[in-house]
Chain A
Amino acid sequence: GAVVSQHPSWVICKSGTSVKIECRSLDFQATTMFWYRQFPKQSLMLMATSNEGSKATYEQGVEKDKFLINHASLTLSTLTVTSAHPEDSSFYICSAIVGGDNNEKLFFGSGTQLSVL
């Protein structure tokens, strides 16, 4: 079945540094991928829609300059948390839509736990 691979699984960084998270579609092409953020004991919150070859679409309240998204190929989207601060510590999850003809489903990566010291 369709697989969405996310890397790294966890990362610890110092405040002020930037962190890049990769999301790959392993056996299908994804023109669109989605990035979510999840705080402990809370639901997933959609951050942005990553579009291959064009600019990402950000949800209201999500800073574009803070969370840089690049979708340079049909199988790879990256999320870079720039100048990370402790409040950016969270679980980040990517996803992609698989299937067509009224059979679309969201498949998710395994997530990245970011801890900013």
Chain B
Amino acid sequence: LAKTTQPISMDSYEGQEVNITCSHNNIATNDYITWYQQFPSQGPRFIIQGYKTKVTNEVASLFIPADRKSSTLSLPRVSLSDTAVYYCLVGDMRTGRRALTFGSGTRLQVQP
């Protein structure tokens, strides 16, 4: 299975940019990288997905270097409501269960 490694936790302050990096050395050619956000007692929520280079949407950016062995989720100007656990998933959902496998995630704590 494609194993992902993320920092267990991160702390930030409101208004700062937060970058969370995920390592995935075993990424395969057809694998995509997807990030999810989870609040307590809720199901994970899709944030962003990418294959290579940079992807940006209204809430985040995803940076993927050329070798694709890691990815960085960037949250601009975080607020208290961004306190959550963030997971990166790597895989090809069409073919394998590894795209469904969650790692330990990163617990982000945003303080005033």
Contacts and interface: CB of A to CB of B under 8 A. Distances in A.
Interface residues of B, number: 23
A28 interface: no
A65 interface: no
Contacts of B41: 91, 111, 113
A36 B38 CA distance: 14
Interface stretch (A13-21, A42-50, A69-77, A80-88): A42-50
Interface residues of A, number: 24
Contacts, number: 55
Contact of A34 (B36, B46, B51, B100): B100
Contacts of A46: 97, 100-102
The 3 closest A-B pairs by CB, nearest first: A108-B43, A104-B93, A44-B102
21 contacts: A34-B100, A43-B87, A43-B104, A44-B44, A44-B87, A44-B102, A49-B97, A91-B41, A95-B100, A97-B93, A102-B32, A104-B93, A104-B94, A105-B34, A106-B36, A106-B46, A106-B100, A107-B46, A108-B43, A110-B42, A113-B41
